[in-house]
Every structure is written in structure tokens, then in C-alpha cells.
């Protein structure tokens, strides 16, 4: 497996409860390095574009409202097999189905307010990283 980069978001439910450090500790303990990170408050337009793939889903409007309800921490994570590794550390979308010790099992409030985002493929990771970060902001 090769060293990869993936894109991560610590979602508003987690920043609201001051969980950034605890989530970062799980990412780092899982072998991922945070090579870029910033705290932002997404606009409606930014959230709609980021989640554009879900625009026909019934939860789209609610998801955009949630993702713009407070600050988020956007991150680039680097490590061996980083895309799949981060999905493993996050756990299943619905915290009720997430494995013990995962971010979502430990911290998520609901299937929507599930504390973390992680890219689902290497291709999408590259697109999502480029949406939020310039190359100069990523220090490997």
C-alpha cells in the first residue's frame, strides 16, 4: 500500500462540543498525520457544492443546514492507505452501525450529526483537498 492523502472534516456537532483534540488524537493514533488543518465556517454555497453529489437525496437541505450551523475543521491527512484508513477510524455513517472505538461510535450524535467526514476514494480525496487547500498550505 502506498502513502496517500485524504480529506477530513471535523463537523459542527464536534467543534461545538470542543472535541477537535480528541478526534485528532484518534486520527493520529490510527497512523495518520495531519499535514494541513484550518478552522472555517462554511457558507451555504460552499456546503452545497461540497455535497453536490447528494443533492437529490432527501436529507440534502438538512445536511447543508447542519454543516453551516457552526465552524468546522478541514484537514488533509497523510499515511499508508490513508483513504481507507480514515474511513476505518471514522466508522460507519450511522453511529448505530459503527464499530467500537471509532470516531462516530464514540462521538456522533446522529446519522446526520456524525462528527466527521472522510473522502471515499483517492480521486474524490484529490478533488476535496483542492477545494479547501492550496498546495502551499499542505506540509507533509
Report whether 11 contacts 67 (CB < 8 A): yes
Burial of 135 (0-12, 13-18, 19+ CB in 10 A): exposed
The one of Mg ion, ligand IDP, none whose footprint includes residue 114, by CB under 5 to 8 A per kind, is ligand IDP
The one of ligand IDP, Mg ion, none whose footprint includes residue 105, by CB under 5 to 8 A per kind, is none
Whichever of 99 and 139 has its CB closer to Mg ion, that residue is: 99
Shortest distance, CB of residue 104 to ligand IDP, whole angstroms?
Answer: 8
Nearest to 114 by CA among 101, 124, 127, 105: 105
Cα–Cα distance between 127 and 115 in angstroms, integer?
21
DSSP 99: P
Report whether 80 contacts 1 (CB < 8 A): yes
Q: How many CB atoms lie within 10 A of CB 35?
A: 18
Residue tagged active-site, from 5, 11, 105, 117? 117
Whichever of 26 and 116 has its CB closer to Mg ion, that residue is: 116
The one of Mg ion, ligand IDP, none whose footprint includes residue 108, by CB under 5 to 8 A per kind, is none
Nearest to 24 by CA among 126, 123, 115: 115
* Footprint (CB under 5 A) of Mg ion, residues 117-136: 120
54 is catalytic: no
Whichever of 35 and 72 has its CB closer to ligand IDP, that residue is: 72
Q: Which residues bind ligand IDP (CB under 6 A)?
A: 54, 59, 63, 93, 111-112, 114, 117, 120
Shortest distance, CB of residue 12 to Mg ion, whole angstroms?
Answer: 17
For Mg ion, the binding residues (CB under 5 A) are 120
Amino acid at each position: 500500500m502506498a502513502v496517500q492523502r485524504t480529506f477530513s472534516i471535523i463537523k459542527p456537532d464536534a467543534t461545538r462540543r470542543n472535541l477537535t483534540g480528541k478526534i485528532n488524537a484518534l486520527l493520529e493514533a490510527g497512523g495518520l498525520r495531519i499535514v494541513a488543518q484550518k478552522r472555517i465556517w462554511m457558507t451555504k454555497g460552499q456546503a452545497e457544492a461540497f455535497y453536490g453529489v447528494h443533492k437529490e437525496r432527501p436529507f440534502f437541505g438538512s445536511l447543508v443546514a447542519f454543516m453551516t450551523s457552526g465552524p468546522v475543521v478541514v484537514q488533509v491527512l497523510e499515511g499508508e492507505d490513508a483513504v481507507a484508513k480514515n474511513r476505518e477510524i471514522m466508522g460507519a455513517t450511522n453511529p448505530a452501525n459503527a464499530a467500537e472505538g471509532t470516531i462516530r461510535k464514540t462521538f456522533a450524535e446522529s446519522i446526520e450529526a456524525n462528527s466527521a467526514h472522510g473522502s471515499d476514494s483517492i480521486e474524490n480525496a484529490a478533488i476535496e483537498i483542492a477545494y479547501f487547500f492550496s498546495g502551499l498550505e499542505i506540509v507533509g
